[in-house]
Structures are given as C-alpha cells and as structure tokens.
Amino acid sequence: MAAGTAMSSYWRGVRDGLPFLAVVGPFAMLFGVLATEAGLAVHETMGFSIVVIAGAAQFTALQLLNENAPTLVIIASALAVNLRMAMYSASITPHLGSLPLWKRGIAAYFLVDQTYAVSLIDYEKNPDQTTAEKFAFFLGVMTPICPPWYLFTFLGAVLGETIPSSFGLDFALPIAFLAMIGPMLRTPAHRIAALAAVVLALAFAWLPFNAGLLVAGLGGMMAGAQAEVRLGIKP
Amino acid sequence: MSDTTQLWVIIIALGLGSFGMRFAFLGLVGDRAMPEWLLRHLRYTAVAVIPALVAPLVVWPTATGGEPDATRLSAAVATFAVGYLTKNVFAAMGVGAAVLVTLSALL
C-alpha cells in the first residue's frame, strides 16, 4: 500500500511540475545558444548544465566568461547567485531530513528554484504526507524539469544560431517565478515577508555580487517570523 | 592556464559549490531537531527569496538595458494577480505569457 501512495504522490508531482516545462525548455535552450555563441563546445555546454544544474548561476558565469573576468571572480559571483540554495536546503530539511543519506544526496542535487518552490507549496498544503510520499512528490516535480534542462541545453547548443532570439524570451523566467508567488501568500505573515523582501530587493539592488538578494531574502524571512509571533498566526 | 582548463575548473568548482550549498542542511542536519526560532524563519524562505529574486527583473529588465518597460510590467502584474486570485500557478503563467505576447505584438 505504501508503494501505491508513493506512486500516486510521484504522479501528482509530475502534474504539478509539468507547467514549468514551458519555462525550462526555452530557458535551457537559450543557455545552449548563448554558450555556443560564447565559443563553448557542445560537451562543455552540457558539462555546465549537468554538473552545475542552476540556470541563474550558469548565465552569470557565461556573462563573466564573455567579459574575460578572472576565474576566481567568476566562481565567487556564480556561487553567490546560488547562495539561496543553502536557504532552500535548510527550508526543505524538516520535510526530507529523515531520508537515508543517498536519497538526501539525490534531493540536494535536484534542488532548484522550481522543484523547491513547487514541493514546498505542496508540503504546506498537504501536511499529513509521509516522508516517502514527500520524496516521491519531489522526484515527480523534478522529472519534467531537470532531464528537460539537459535535453534543451543540448538542442540549443546544437541548433545554435539557427534559432532567432524571439522577443519576450528573456521574460519567461520572471513570469514563472511570479506565477508561484500568489499561491504562497497564505497568511498575513507570508504577505508581510514577501512585501518586505520586494522592498529590500529593490532598495539593495545596487550591491555587488547579487548580495541584495541575500539581504532581501534574510530580511523577508525575519519580517515573516516577526509577524507570525506578533500577530499570533498559526503557521 | 588554457581556455579549456579554465572552463573546466569553473564548471567543476561551480558544481561542487552548488551541490555543497544544496546539501548543507539536508545532508548535515538531517532529522536532528532544529530550534523553533530557526524553523519559524525557514517557513518564510520561499515567500521571501522568490519575490526578492524577481522584483529587480520586473522593474529593471535586462533586455531593455534596465529601462522599465510597459509590456513586461503589465505581464508581471497580470501573472501575479491571476496567481493570487486563483491560487493556480498554471493559469497565472498562461495569462502572463498571453499578455506578454499580445502586448509585444501590439506595441
């Protein structure tokens, strides 16, 4: 019976992750095209998408490679962009922390913006799931997001400059993130956290190395936690 | 250092670093109890980081060289509004993409 519920959790995850294919496809393809234009070979471009598997960090590294920045600056900047992954890791640990180490390793490798956000929304909406069901759901979400990330990077790298850079493609990523925010605003504390984060992100956007994102993320988390205590909101 | 070596140094360092950050808590904390104040902050990670990530991209889009842009701003507002009102991620993405494509064609 346990295997059956895990299986249905998996398919529920696939269903919830599927819309993001529409974003991941073009975004990965764009990376493949730009990497090829920057002079990377197909296997090097694939190396990025498989080893690093983090869109924003990959684009940052590519941008700095184009500018001939020093190796250390490239690594530090791209990792700074990815620092939010440590926050995701902490945030998902209460849900997946009791899994065997190798499964936690798999979850860590596939922990990207979309898999994290979609899973968290589901874990909060359906708090009575077992850890096995939560892990199955996570793998389900990952299925239409991560393997296509490799596949479309490859297509972009191979097809390269034959693809016209259509207007609006740059905005696919913001649209995907914006779509996820509404369903997250469940309580006044969530709304206060989001509002504080937006104000701080805009106020500190001038900071180098994307540090504004970290200031805003931490500030928003503190605002949410404070609001929860002061307003006596049940989490 | 040749270009190829430099590139692979970057790829492998980024891969190890990214995995390290993703594994930091999942792997090392595992199912040990975390203090309540920390959990209270972690509950708001997603709802703080995702809006913080997206806000500057909406107000100062890279594609326009950082100039605020009516088309992208309208698409952003529509996406957020539909997501907030319907709680449906797919509907929000669909409406946002439709507004973006329609206004791009018209303006």
SS (H, E, C) chain A: CHHHHHHHHHHHHHHHHHHHHHHHHHHHHHHHHHHHHCCCCHHHHHHHHHHHCCHHHHHHHHHHHHCCCCHHHHHHHHHHHCCHHHHHHHHHHHHHCCCCHHHHHHHHHCCCHHHHHHHHHHHHHCCCCCHHHHHHHHHHHHCCCHHHHHHHHHHHHHHHHHCCCCCCHHHHHHHHHHHHHHHHCCCHHHHHHHHHHHHHHHHCCCCHHHHHHHHHHHHHHHHHHHHHHHCCCCC
Ranges under pLDDT 50 in chain B: none
Quick check: is B27 in a domain? no
Mean pLDDT of A36-45: 89
Residue A1's pLDDT is: 41
Of B48, B86, B97, the CB nearest to A217: B48
ipTM of the complex: 0.85
Residues in B touching A79 (Cβ below 8 Å): 14, 17-18, 21
**pLDDT tens for residues A49-102?**
999 998 878 987 887 787 787 888 888 878 877 888 888 999 999 999 999 999
Q: What is the DSSP letter of B1?
A: -
Query: Higher pLDDT residue, A195 or B2?
Result: A195
Count other C-beta atoms under 10 Å from residue B45's C-beta. Answer: 25
- Report the number of distinct structural domains present in chain B: 1
Contact B90 A220 (CB under 8 A): no
Q: Give the residue carrying structure tokens 């791009």.
A: B104
What value does the mean pLDDT of chain A take? 88
The share of chain A scoring above pLDDT 90, in percent, equals: 56
Is the pLDDT assigned to residue A163 strictly greater than 60? no
Query: Which residue segment(s) compose the domain that B76 sits in?
Result: 50-106
**pLDDT tens for residues A145-156?**
999 999 999 999
Residue A2's pLDDT is: 53
Residue A168's pLDDT is: 58
Is the pLDDT assigned to residue A208 strictly greater than 90? no
Of A85, A92, A202, the CB nearest to B18: A85
**pLDDT tens for residues A113-141?**
999 999 999 999 999 999 999 999 999 99
Q: Are A115 and A138 in contact (CB under 8 A)?
A: yes
Contact B23 A108 (CB under 8 A): yes
Indicate the range of A198-202, A206-210, B6-10, B79-83 predicted with least confidence: A206-210
Contact A175 B79 (CB under 8 A): yes
Quick check: is B90 in a domain? yes
Is the pLDDT assigned to residue A187 strictly greater than 80? yes
Domain ranges of chain A: 2-166, 185-235
Q: How far is A147 from A68, CA to CA, in rounded Å?
A: 30
Q: C-alpha angle with apex A141: A225 to B72, nearest 5 degrees?
A: 70
Mean pLDDT of A199-214: 87
> Which pair of structure tokens corresponds to residue A223?
């605002």
Q: Which of A86, A90, A76, A100 is nearest to A214 (CA)?
A: A86
Of B14, B31, B44, the CB nearest to A61: B14
Query: Higher pLDDT residue, A127 or A171?
Result: A127
Query: Higher pLDDT residue, A55 or A210?
Result: A55
Count other C-beta atoms under 10 Å from residue B18's C-beta. Answer: 27
Contacts of A198 (CB under 8 A, 6+ apart): A216, B51, B52, B55
Residue A31's pLDDT is: 87
Interchain contact A101–B (C-beta under 8 A):
yes
Q: Are A119 and A137 in contact (CB under 8 A)?
A: yes
